[in-house]
Structure 1
């Protein structure tokens, strides 16, 4: 089998393996998302300090940014920042994927290992972040076509929130389909951003019902985190991050 692999592997001018633009996906059941959360919770219990600390740092940084913007009187910018935080969530969870991967490999989770792995894939991560930020900026353009002012009134705010929610939901869905499996795939197989995105889109479209359940669970957990004044996100964010790693492992066909 090793000889066969050596025959089919192609390499570029730098000696790096040329991989296919699309990696096949498995068919998963609608119960799978609940199993991913259970495995994610198991990872938190295996590495509680790393997981909760990681979640707390991300949430506190986001809260600080929101507070600074609000104190600066840039109220309308909160919408843009909120959309940006939502859309870049999969990238911010990269360290959590690494922790789950370390646990899976039988290693003792180490923060330095997360940094090392993240730096190895920095180029593809940054490209992915750039794409997400462009989408976030596009989503925030609702402020251009639907300007608001201090005297907008309750009806005006409700209309703005309705339009903003529709626009935000569209881009959030786009990001979900594109990034559901992209970042864990980059970490695990060192794939480029295009291959990762196409693989993720294909996997989601081939498991529509199960992925709809997964999306609903994520939205529900995030709303739970919001109603707890963000405190619940200390655990919810790492839970979703760890579960996303297991979602990738079960959905994307693994190398033989």
Structure 2
């Protein structure tokens, strides 16, 4: 029986669309994702909290170094940068939720295996997010030049810096959120390139503006709560958001046309 050329096979990249279709979400969708994410934490508490404690330690290190050796501007810039690279750091949590969804008992070795299996795509997205973070850091430094503050500034002195810095930060955060909301879980789940995953993510966010704005607000609130608790809250909040992100992808993106990754099948 004759076989089709590689370019004509159903799984050939040339035959794949440039963007995966998305489903339309209702406003309560983010709350469902959080509920499902909490369920994953209950089913795999040891792995989830181990991951959460590791991320908490990293956030504490960033906060302590910037606070001890830098300024409030550096602290805000690094804290925001931590938010930018957070989606890449959460790939292990996606793997835990994925294993649970397949009826498996999650193990750390499998999480590491999946992370290594997708290292190329993760590095591509990681570099992109790092570049955005560096541009944001430069923008924050520029704002600090125009609005200098003392080592112990008053609230009145900080207001101009915080106001303009927040606007600039919101723009960069919106870009990163749109690009990473669904792209990393899609890369973990399907044989797809980073560009297609990012375009799919941006398309889904733009088509579901209200529920995704609510989801972004809930993530931002979680980050604020984490820093408000001296980063201790991140031990629970970051795993919760990571697991919920996986369920957000599952509900929103229809990637069935792309084959599943071999790491998931093996």
Deviation at 1:251, TM superposition (A): 0.2
SS at match of 1:24: coil
CA RMSD, Structure 1 to Structure 2 (Å): 2.2
The 5 A counterparts of 1:23-38 are 23-38=20-35
- The answer for the alignment partner of 1:57 in structure 2 is 54
The question of whether the paired residues in 2 share the 8 Å contact of 1:80 and 1:137 is answered with no
1:48-85: CA deviations, max 9, x gaps?
Answer: 01001101101111211321233234554323311210
Aligned to 1:211: 212
Query: What stretches of structure 1 of length at least 5 have no aligned partner?
Result: none
Change in CA separation of 1:151 and 1:95 when aligned onto 2, cut-off 3 Å = closer
Partner of 1:144: 142
- 1:152: how far off? 8.4
TM-score, structure 1 as length reference? 0.90
Q: Does residue 96 of structure 2 align to residue 95 of structure 1?
A: no
Task: Name the CA distance, whole Å, in 2 between partners of 1:187 and 1:197.
Answer: 13
- Measure, in 2, the Cα distance between the counterparts of 1:229 and 1:68: 14
CA contact (8 A) 2:24 2:207 kept: yes
Hey, what's the Cα distance between the residues in 2 that align with 1:101 and 1:81? 30
After the TM superposition, which segments of 4 or more aligned residues of structure 1 sit over 4 Å from their partners?
none
- Note the C-alpha offset of 1:157: 2.1
CA contact (8 A) 1:87 1:175 kept: yes
Query: Conserved in 2, the CA contact under 8 Å of 1:185 and 1:196?
Result: yes
Count how many residue pairs are aligned between Structure 1 and Structure 2: 249
Q: How far apart, in 1, do the equivalents of 2:88 and 2:223 lie? A: 16
Counterpart residue number, 2:176: 175
Provide the rounded CA distance (Å) in 2 between the counterparts of 1:70 and 1:100: 35
Aligned counterparts of 1:127 and 1:32: Cα–Cα separation in 2: 29
User: Match for 2:132 among 114, 121, 135?
Assistant: 135
Any stretches of 5+ residues in structure 2 without a counterpart? 258-266
